[in-house]
């Protein structure tokens, strides 16, 4: 994810749609939880 964010740049948001058994992974790496999705907001 860090590499994808680096290549896309700070003006792009990333939405991750999670399978139910992957929710814990995204929580462990510090992503904000939304109902069945996680969000990397734009930095600009």
- Name the band, by pLDDT with cuts 50, 70 and 90, for residue 13: confident
Whether the per-residue pLDDT at 30 is higher than 80: the answer is: yes
- Which residue in the block uniquely carries the two structure tokens 């948001």? 13
Whether the per-residue pLDDT at 36 is higher than 70: the answer is: no
pTM over 0.85: no
Judging by beta carbons within 10 Å of its beta carbon (0-12, 13-18, 19+), is residue 38 exposed, middle or buried? buried
Q: What residue spans define the domains of the chain?
A: 2-40
């Amino acid at each position: 994810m860090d590499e994808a964010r680096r290549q896309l740049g700070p003006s792009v948001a990333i939405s991750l749609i999670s399978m139910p058994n992957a929710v814990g992974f995204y929580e462990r790496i510090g992503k904000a939880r939304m109902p069945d999705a996680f969000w990397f907001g734009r930095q600009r």
